Structure 1
């Protein structure tokens, strides 16, 4: 925070002294003398300004220079004039007052010229407050007013040098470092400018979150697709076939992503201590033994292998595939203990207790090993029994055998009842004596809170300390980062490998192909036993959809980018697409029956992604979409703020670190340069980060909770594939504009009338009329804004999406 380097009373005394010491010829000073002899002294000696918060004669890219810039980032600009350039002002009783800016501009040619100059400096430097001073008069006004021209605003006027002293309290509130930092003048001047954000069309809907009901066929399609696409990997009967046919290797190339290869390669770089990306996890099976392809991993280290992967990246599938790669002999010689800390452990208060209870259950149910049986316990504690026999308690073995057995049983019971130690001891026995390869996976802890993930790591550390068990613990990058700073991982040197997401389009293509083979009975279809549904139409729907994804690069690009590497999300999105009330499934099947070559268009996928199960778009209707046209302040230019931020981050513009992140304060400075204010930029940054359109290095907002009082500019950001897809493609598409038009405040009354009139209609003719009006409204604002940028062009985005409008126009022409 900017703080004056003097007290208020001291500043006022100094001002009095400066005024008393002014020479008689002060009114003849030129601009340079006025600045040096008077304005400099007022700012530094009376108002407490000091470096680095004051900058003088700052040249800008427009070819001009500002006399003074105040604040970091810049919040105010001052234009100095020579003393003789008196402003022609209306006579007032008081020497400090608030006046209409237009009155001053219209009646004073000298001020009018200064007004034009200072506005330019404010625009180029991002200053929100403009100040013009000729030595004896000061005029302060807003350089930007939401939703209206600057000249319609008010200004503060100090008329005469004595006014500076008589109204020093006001001068301090307006121009001291604290006053500038707290935006006092800006807030007071804004009070009389009180435009409001227009209502959204969705506010007149009887039920904005109304569900659309499925047809009977859509219900059947949803039920079958859920079985075949979403839940099938967990079924024992099909698990082997599924991982053989559906698993997409993490090394697969993602050809359709909009992110650079460097960003993809370095996605987990920030989790390391040395700025080098941790190695990707690679495993292989040799003679039915698991090997980790890494120079850092060894069972002898006694440390768990921390596997870092973003949410939904495919960590569970990777672990399952390890075991499925073993042949039948290898599986008989290996125990795979997969512990789900997500839904299954949700009711457990203690992770360690849950894990210690779960391992014996898995050994008993899957491998017929009862680690609590008397025979097993005696084998595990063979050495301990020998030590017991040598003890005083054991010395009665040949004197009183009955009492000896009771004492021994009590001794073994105490060992067994120490559950953590007994479980680990049992695993060691199985490995050393029975030569069993043991793989323990603590999975889905990333679906739980931070403390649960911390506990999971400590349990993994305890088990792996035996040096006989492969222990994997899966964590999110954000959790690993937090824990390295102050959590459980801070005290350990960790073995870290990473899992990268497979290409989303390949994941879906393999899943659909597998689902088709199951539905057609070509592979084990016991999963459909007891289901009395005609599968022919469902097969036709899946065939058409599979063909469409394979042949349409636009669909593959959509799926690859809008889910941002979250495999779980892309499967959920496609599964819900099958049977969605917003997808014309019956029509797809009918055309496929007739042609055997139907290709489902992109808009069917995007419409479902926007609306989900709902009749209308709202911020909660979509898993992946964000209305980039929504606004926080009554400023129509703000419709483009989200797109400008994302595009700025995706461009070569700005100073960024080696991982492509730009400091938040630099983003704010750039957006202020083109006409926005902090009240618009800060909440927009938060919203974009929450919706995964931009990201911080450690997933703040998305995964790490950030308090409202923490300013977003304290973080660095870069755009994600989700954000880039929005601004390069989706925001100009008919489906997107159609859906978001009712969720966007519209300032133009004519456009608002059309959108409101058609808000409830599902008819394509009415939707087209509404969308065309909304598109024109946005384009007019874009032309009026005249943003001085080269990293985003809304007109080009619209032009690129013209085919989505043309298809609707062709359909309407046929209907007519």
Structure 2
């Protein structure tokens, strides 16, 4: 049996004996509290000061414990094991009001508070070994002590059977160092009524603070498999990993919506490089340029579509034989501007890459490259000044000095080498991630430097760009400087990419073993981590979790990989149950709501649009009450129109005119359209809003928000926390209900109250939507603008609530107490 199980048994046995003997405070501390502090909460001996002396009202007194590190401290006041009748105060969160402070526990709280204040410490805890009450001893945010709340764990049975994770996440050493006390005890400021977002006062996932144990043990391997680190894999591994074909979905039957494709933004003929025939044609042109004519290509694609991965695919797979030939006259020089720094001029950055390539390749060979590149200069010297020297060694020294001077200056050396080889070899300079540089001016400078060098050295050129970057520059002299050929990267299937990444992860961790402590304190040992990865792959790709990632990523592979990492880190709770089930040959489906929560929230404890991959569709951020749901109103109309099989887009001017008709100014409409595109709910050819773009179409993400996620409990609850609540009554109700949720210990009842909170939020959304809907009906806008989105979905939402509460009863109904 593992150490934690043994510790738990010893704690319960000791507590029982101490209670039977009515042991005093000293014995309680020595035999029980010391053990819990050190062996359960992981405080080290050197962190703990006992009998800390302080003077209070000219009297000497002593704090029982001070848990102290370099950046935090907690006073722990210990009492004998028989103390504390809780009376009416057996809640999770307890307001530190006057009536509570007159109870037996309250008097101990005051004593601990005064000790903490005397020592200049902000946090305190009262315990008799069984009960643990943690609270803020002093505040620095203009909130009084009596307006603050403490967190109560009323018994060891409660801690070890139900709230072990929450208990350790609050006051174990690692959590305290990570700021758990500040988060849970200072997490709301109710006097800031002008900040009417629940995220400023509450967190729906305050008990989720630790990484999933699988992620904790395999984090570096997961980071490798689900990031661009795979680009460094050898050709064989990369070949097994790469997905060479684009996804092709024309109609999504689940949401009954036509999935419009992004047309190419290039007016000229464009090769679709994810199609076999176009890709083969492109590769043949690049590799079989026997007359060494100068070629120039622009490859465009959406954000995260796989442009960089395609370049590596060409290099590692399609062009591998050419690049590995010992007598190679084919050169592939890839320059990634993600590696550039602001203090290095772009020309110097490019030349440094070229210089390093010469050093590492046969272009740096004396006989094959350097001597012939300098042949005419050497001949001139030998016929001229060096003809007066009879010593061959001295002649060679002078020639070496000439070449060494250019070598040290770099640019003359580079230019002579490449000019010599440019009409004898196929040399490609490949420029990637230009558009990762935010400044348009800097992008222009970079373009100019790259094109100037390519022309000066007579090199072939391949430039990768986002579609939006190409749109901004397509009429500039920089683009027109070359007679480009064009290729487009259409993103492959997200699920196909994730499947191969899971296979890669499984091979990386094969044979690795690890152990972890489960939610109930039990110890688990995993002999072969690849078996766990098999479970994860099945759980993600074999049900709706993978579908959620695919839809929410909206064809952005980089984002899909990040979402998957977030899911693996924070996306499910009962890991041990899944591993046990999988080991027995049973299929264990990880709850899709946990995956959705992880995708939406990421590594944070509360949703905030500013860092989430999912934009808040319930708040247009216009600071206008009646236009708060304009974002959703526009998206709903676009999704409704896309239901038609003949749908190709909805005209932007049409949207503007309809909304102008019901009283929405053009500037607000354009602002919201821009945000909808930025958040991937709508798209246009260039992903921007401008006068020359006529059509908008909803993405699959936009369709799923309107048709599926709008009535999803997890989606609603998370986005609610970052939605401004303008209605006074609703705001007060939501705050009061949130307090009840935080104080409630019974899990089933907690979920029932959470449902009640969403019901209030839904009513608020319905009320906020009605001005837009009523005006559309009154002015007889087309039918796609006139459906009662919330009224039509109320019954579906009630069914969702019934499922949520039914699931809670099935999972937690056996126990009368949490």
TM-score by length of 2: 0.61
What is the distance in 1 between the residues matched to 2:287 and 2:393? Answer: 55
Q: Structure 1 residues 351 and 783 mapped into 2: Cα distance closer, same or farther (>3 Å)?
A: closer
- For residues 183-332 of structure 1, the aligned pairs below 5 Å read 199-205=196-202, 212-214=209-211, 216-230=213-227, 232-235=229-232, 238-254=233-249, 263-264=260-261, 266=263, 268-269=264-265, 271-272=266-267, 278-281=270-273, 291-292=283-284, 300-325=292-317, 330-332=322-324
CA contact 1:210–1:616 (8 Å) conserved in 2: no
Q: Does 1:744 align with 2:723?
A: yes
**Counterpart among 651, 661, 681 of residue 662 in structure 1:** 651
Deviation track 1:591-632 (CA, whole Å, cap 9, x = no partner) reads 434563112243222211211111111122412333434553
Residue in 1 that maps onto 2:759:
772
Residue in 2 that maps onto 1:812:
808
Deviation track 1:106-128 (CA, whole Å, cap 9, x = no partner) reads xxxxxxxxxxxxxxxxxxxxxxx
Deviation, 1:476, is 1.6
CA contact 2:336–2:433 (8 Å) conserved in 1: yes
CA contact 1:313–1:501 (8 Å) conserved in 2: yes
What is the distance in 1 between the residues matched to 2:714 and 2:197? Answer: 18
CA contact 2:296–2:483 (8 Å) conserved in 1: no
What is the distance in 2 between the residues matched to 1:576 and 1:489? Answer: 39
Residue in 2 that maps onto 1:444:
433
Q: Secondary structure at the match of 1:743?
A: coil
Deviation, 1:498, is 1.4
Deviation, 1:379, is 3.5
Q: Does 1:545 align with 2:536?
A: yes
Q: Does 1:386 align with 2:379?
A: yes
Deviation track 1:399-429 (CA, whole Å, cap 9, x = no partner) reads x756644553444345546644543543465
Q: Does 1:729 align with 2:708?
A: yes
Deviation, 1:455, is 4.6
CA contact 2:204–2:606 (8 Å) conserved in 1: no
What is the distance in 2 between the residues matched to 1:746 and 1:594? Answer: 49
Q: Does 1:718 align with 2:696?
A: yes
- For residues 79-478 of structure 1, the aligned pairs below 5 Å read 199-205=196-202, 212-214=209-211, 216-230=213-227, 232-235=229-232, 238-254=233-249, 263-264=260-261, 266=263, 268-269=264-265, 271-272=266-267, 278-281=270-273, 291-292=283-284, 300-325=292-317, 330-333=322-325, 337-347=332-342, 349-365=344-360, 367=361, 369=362, 371=364, 376-390=369-383, 392-396=384-388, 404-405=395-396, 407-413=398-404, 415-416=406-407, 419-420=410-411, 422-423=413-414, 425-427=416-418, 438-449=427-438, 450-458=440-448, 460-462=450-452, 464-465=454-455, 470-478=460-468
Deviation, 1:511, is 1.0
Q: Does 1:497 align with 2:493?
A: no
What is the distance in 2 between the residues matched to 1:659 and 1:608? Answer: 34
CA contact 1:211–1:613 (8 Å) conserved in 2: no
Residue in 1 that maps onto 2:616:
626
The number of aligned residues is 583
Q: Structure 1 residues 498 and 714 mapped into 2: Cα distance closer, same or farther (>3 Å)?
A: closer
Q: Secondary structure at the match of 1:279?
A: strand
Deviation track 1:575-606 (CA, whole Å, cap 9, x = no partner) reads 12111266554554344345631122432222
Q: Does 1:685 align with 2:686?
A: no
What is the distance in 2 between the residues matched to 1:255 and 1:595? Answer: 37
Deviation, 1:674, is 3.5
CA contact 2:257–2:639 (8 Å) conserved in 1: no
What is the distance in 2 between the residues matched to 1:490 and 1:751? Answer: 58
Residue in 2 that maps onto 1:641:
630
Deviation, 1:386, is 2.7
Q: Secondary structure at the match of 2:655?
A: helix
Q: Does 1:510 align with 2:489?
A: no
What is the distance in 1 between the residues matched to 2:286 and 2:535? Answer: 43
Q: Structure 1 residues 231 and 747 mapped into 2: Cα distance closer, same or farther (>3 Å)?
A: closer
**Counterpart among 603, 610, 630 of residue 613 in structure 1:** 603
Deviation, 1:666, is 3.5
Q: Secondary structure at the match of 1:472?
A: strand
Choose 1 or 2 for highest CA Rg.
1
What is the distance in 1 between the residues matched to 2:446 and 2:275? Answer: 23
Deviation, 1:213, is 3.7
What is the distance in 2 between the residues matched to 1:607 and 1:425? Answer: 58
Q: Secondary structure at the match of 2:603?
A: coil
Residue in 2 that maps onto 1:168:
none
Q: Comparing 308-317 with 222-231, which one deviates more in the overlay?
A: 222-231
Q: Secondary structure at the match of 2:716?
A: helix
What is the distance in 2 between the residues matched to 1:535 and 1:454? Answer: 53
Deviation, 1:451, is 4.3
Deviation, 1:741, is 1.9
What is the distance in 2 between the residues matched to 1:542 and 1:798? Answer: 39
Deviation, 1:739, is 0.9
Q: Structure 1 residues 542 and 698 mapped into 2: Cα distance closer, same or farther (>3 Å)?
A: same
Q: Is there any run of 5+ residues in structure 1 with no aligned partner, and where? A: 1-195, 526-532, 702-711
- For residues 20-59 of structure 1, the aligned pairs below 5 Å read none
What is the distance in 2 between the residues matched to 1:332 and 1:679? Answer: 57
What is the distance in 2 between the residues matched to 1:767 and 1:207? Answer: 9
What is the distance in 2 between the residues matched to 1:300 and 1:372? Answer: 21
CA contact 2:258–2:647 (8 Å) conserved in 1: no
CA contact 2:196–2:726 (8 Å) conserved in 1: no
Q: Structure 1 residues 265 and 389 mapped into 2: Cα distance closer, same or farther (>3 Å)?
A: same
Deviation, 1:737, is 0.8
Q: Secondary structure at the match of 2:271?
A: coil
Deviation track 1:61-92 (CA, whole Å, cap 9, x = no partner) reads xxxxxxxxxxxxxxxxxxxxxxxxxxxxxxxx
Residue in 2 that maps onto 1:48:
none
Q: Structure 1 residues 295 and 737 mapped into 2: Cα distance closer, same or farther (>3 Å)?
A: same
Q: Secondary structure at the match of 1:622?
A: coil
CA contact 1:233–1:239 (8 Å) conserved in 2: no
CA contact 2:734–2:757 (8 Å) conserved in 1: yes
Deviation, 1:679, is 7.1
CA contact 1:337–1:439 (8 Å) conserved in 2: yes
Q: Structure 1 residues 738 and 321 mapped into 2: Cα distance closer, same or farther (>3 Å)?
A: same
Deviation, 1:243, is 1.9
What is the distance in 1 between the residues matched to 2:541 and 2:729? Answer: 43
What is the distance in 2 between the residues matched to 1:381 and 1:394? Answer: 15
